[in-house]
Amino acid sequence: MAAAAAGVADPLEALRRRGQAYVRFGLRNAEAYRVLFMYKDHVPEGVDHERLSRSETFNHLVESVRRCLDAGAFRPGDPCQIAIGLWVLVHGITSLLLAAPGFPWPQEPEELVDRLVTDHLQGLLP
Protein backbone atom coordinates (compact mmCIF):
# COMPACT_ATOMS: atom_id res chain seq x y z
CA MET A 1 0.00 0.00 0.00
CA ALA A 2 2.86 2.34 0.78
CA ALA A 3 4.40 1.65 -2.62
CA ALA A 4 1.08 2.42 -4.34
CA ALA A 5 0.96 5.83 -2.66
CA ALA A 6 4.66 6.65 -2.95
CA GLY A 7 5.39 9.90 -4.74
CA VAL A 8 1.74 10.99 -4.86
CA ALA A 9 1.48 14.56 -3.61
CA ASP A 10 -2.32 14.69 -3.30
CA PRO A 11 -3.18 12.99 0.03
CA LEU A 12 -6.67 12.03 -1.17
CA GLU A 13 -5.30 10.37 -4.29
CA ALA A 14 -2.64 8.61 -2.22
CA LEU A 15 -5.32 7.24 0.10
CA ARG A 16 -7.42 6.08 -2.86
CA ARG A 17 -4.41 4.25 -4.28
CA ARG A 18 -3.73 2.59 -0.93
CA GLY A 19 -7.28 1.23 -0.89
CA GLN A 20 -6.97 -0.10 -4.40
CA ALA A 21 -3.64 -1.74 -3.52
CA TYR A 22 -5.19 -3.45 -0.49
CA VAL A 23 -7.89 -5.07 -2.61
CA ARG A 24 -5.48 -5.91 -5.43
CA PHE A 25 -3.16 -7.66 -2.95
CA GLY A 26 -6.05 -9.65 -1.48
CA LEU A 27 -7.29 -10.77 -4.88
CA ARG A 28 -3.82 -11.69 -6.13
CA ASN A 29 -3.06 -13.59 -2.92
CA ALA A 30 -6.51 -15.04 -2.40
CA GLU A 31 -5.67 -18.10 -0.33
CA ALA A 32 -3.32 -16.24 1.99
CA TYR A 33 -5.93 -13.47 2.37
CA ARG A 34 -8.64 -16.00 3.22
CA VAL A 35 -6.45 -17.67 5.83
CA LEU A 36 -5.33 -14.38 7.39
CA PHE A 37 -8.62 -12.49 7.35
CA MET A 38 -11.60 -14.68 6.59
CA TYR A 39 -11.37 -18.08 8.30
CA LYS A 40 -10.82 -17.07 11.89
CA ASP A 41 -10.88 -14.16 14.25
CA HIS A 42 -7.54 -12.60 13.33
CA VAL A 43 -7.58 -10.03 16.13
CA PRO A 44 -5.38 -11.13 19.03
CA GLU A 45 -7.01 -11.30 22.43
CA GLY A 46 -6.78 -8.12 24.47
CA VAL A 47 -6.56 -5.64 21.58
CA ASP A 48 -7.76 -2.24 22.69
CA HIS A 49 -7.51 1.28 21.27
CA GLU A 50 -4.06 1.80 22.81
CA ARG A 51 -2.66 -1.44 21.37
CA LEU A 52 -4.23 -0.65 17.99
CA SER A 53 -2.54 2.75 18.03
CA ARG A 54 0.83 0.96 18.30
CA SER A 55 0.14 -1.15 15.18
CA GLU A 56 2.49 0.08 12.48
CA THR A 57 0.26 -1.27 9.71
CA PHE A 58 -2.87 0.41 11.02
CA ASN A 59 -0.97 3.62 11.80
CA HIS A 60 0.07 3.95 8.17
CA LEU A 61 -3.61 4.14 7.31
CA VAL A 62 -4.38 6.55 10.16
CA GLU A 63 -1.51 8.80 9.10
CA SER A 64 -2.79 8.80 5.50
CA VAL A 65 -6.20 9.86 6.79
CA ARG A 66 -4.58 12.51 9.01
CA ARG A 67 -2.79 13.98 5.96
CA CYS A 68 -6.17 14.29 4.23
CA LEU A 69 -7.64 15.99 7.30
CA ASP A 70 -4.66 18.36 7.63
CA ALA A 71 -4.94 19.28 3.95
CA GLY A 72 -8.65 20.07 4.35
CA ALA A 73 -9.56 17.26 1.95
CA PHE A 74 -11.95 15.70 4.53
CA ARG A 75 -14.49 17.31 6.78
CA PRO A 76 -13.27 17.29 10.41
CA GLY A 77 -13.37 13.92 12.08
CA ASP A 78 -11.50 11.35 14.12
CA PRO A 79 -8.69 9.93 11.94
CA CYS A 80 -8.86 6.55 13.68
CA GLN A 81 -12.60 6.24 13.11
CA ILE A 82 -12.27 7.27 9.46
CA ALA A 83 -9.41 4.78 9.00
CA ILE A 84 -11.55 1.97 10.44
CA GLY A 85 -14.34 2.89 8.00
CA LEU A 86 -11.92 2.76 5.09
CA TRP A 87 -10.53 -0.58 6.23
CA VAL A 88 -14.06 -1.97 6.57
CA LEU A 89 -14.74 -0.87 3.00
CA VAL A 90 -11.67 -2.41 1.37
CA HIS A 91 -11.78 -5.55 3.53
CA GLY A 92 -15.46 -6.01 2.73
CA ILE A 93 -14.94 -5.59 -1.00
CA THR A 94 -12.00 -7.99 -0.98
CA SER A 95 -13.83 -10.60 1.10
CA LEU A 96 -16.96 -10.47 -1.04
CA LEU A 97 -15.05 -10.67 -4.32
CA LEU A 98 -13.27 -13.76 -2.99
CA ALA A 99 -16.28 -15.38 -1.34
CA ALA A 100 -18.80 -14.73 -4.14
CA PRO A 101 -16.96 -14.87 -7.46
CA GLY A 102 -20.14 -16.03 -9.21
CA PHE A 103 -22.12 -12.98 -8.14
CA PRO A 104 -23.05 -10.81 -11.14
CA TRP A 105 -20.80 -7.91 -10.18
CA PRO A 106 -21.72 -4.84 -12.27
CA GLN A 107 -18.10 -4.15 -13.20
CA GLU A 108 -14.72 -5.81 -13.36
CA PRO A 109 -13.06 -5.95 -9.91
CA GLU A 110 -10.62 -3.07 -10.57
CA GLU A 111 -13.42 -0.80 -11.80
CA LEU A 112 -15.74 -1.82 -8.97
CA VAL A 113 -13.06 -1.14 -6.35
CA ASP A 114 -12.22 2.21 -7.90
CA ARG A 115 -15.88 3.21 -7.91
CA LEU A 116 -16.59 2.12 -4.33
CA VAL A 117 -13.41 3.65 -2.88
CA THR A 118 -14.01 6.89 -4.79
CA ASP A 119 -17.65 7.02 -3.63
CA HIS A 120 -16.63 6.44 -0.01
CA LEU A 121 -13.95 9.14 -0.15
CA GLN A 122 -16.43 11.56 -1.73
CA GLY A 123 -18.63 11.10 1.34
CA LEU A 124 -15.79 12.37 3.54
CA LEU A 125 -15.27 15.60 1.61
CA PRO A 126 -16.02 18.91 3.34
**Residue 74: which of 9, 118, 13, 122 has the closest Cα?**
122
> What angle (nearest 5°) sits at the alpha carbon of residue 72, between those of residues 9 and 25?
50
Q: What is the pLDDT of residues 60-84, one digit of tens each?
A: 899 999 999 999 999 999 999 999 9
Task: Give the helix ranges, DSSP H, for the chain.
Answer: 2-5, 11-28, 30-33, 49-53, 56-70, 79-99, 109-122
Mean pLDDT of 91-103: 94
Report the percentage of the chain scoring pLDDT > 70: 87
Q: Do the beta carbons of residue 58 and residue 83 sit within 8 Å?
A: yes
Q: What is the mean pLDDT of the chain?
A: 88
Domains of the chain: 2-122 (1.10.357.10)
Per-residue pLDDT at 44 exceeds 80? no
| Rounded CA separation 102/98 (Å) | 10
- Which amino acid is it at 123? G
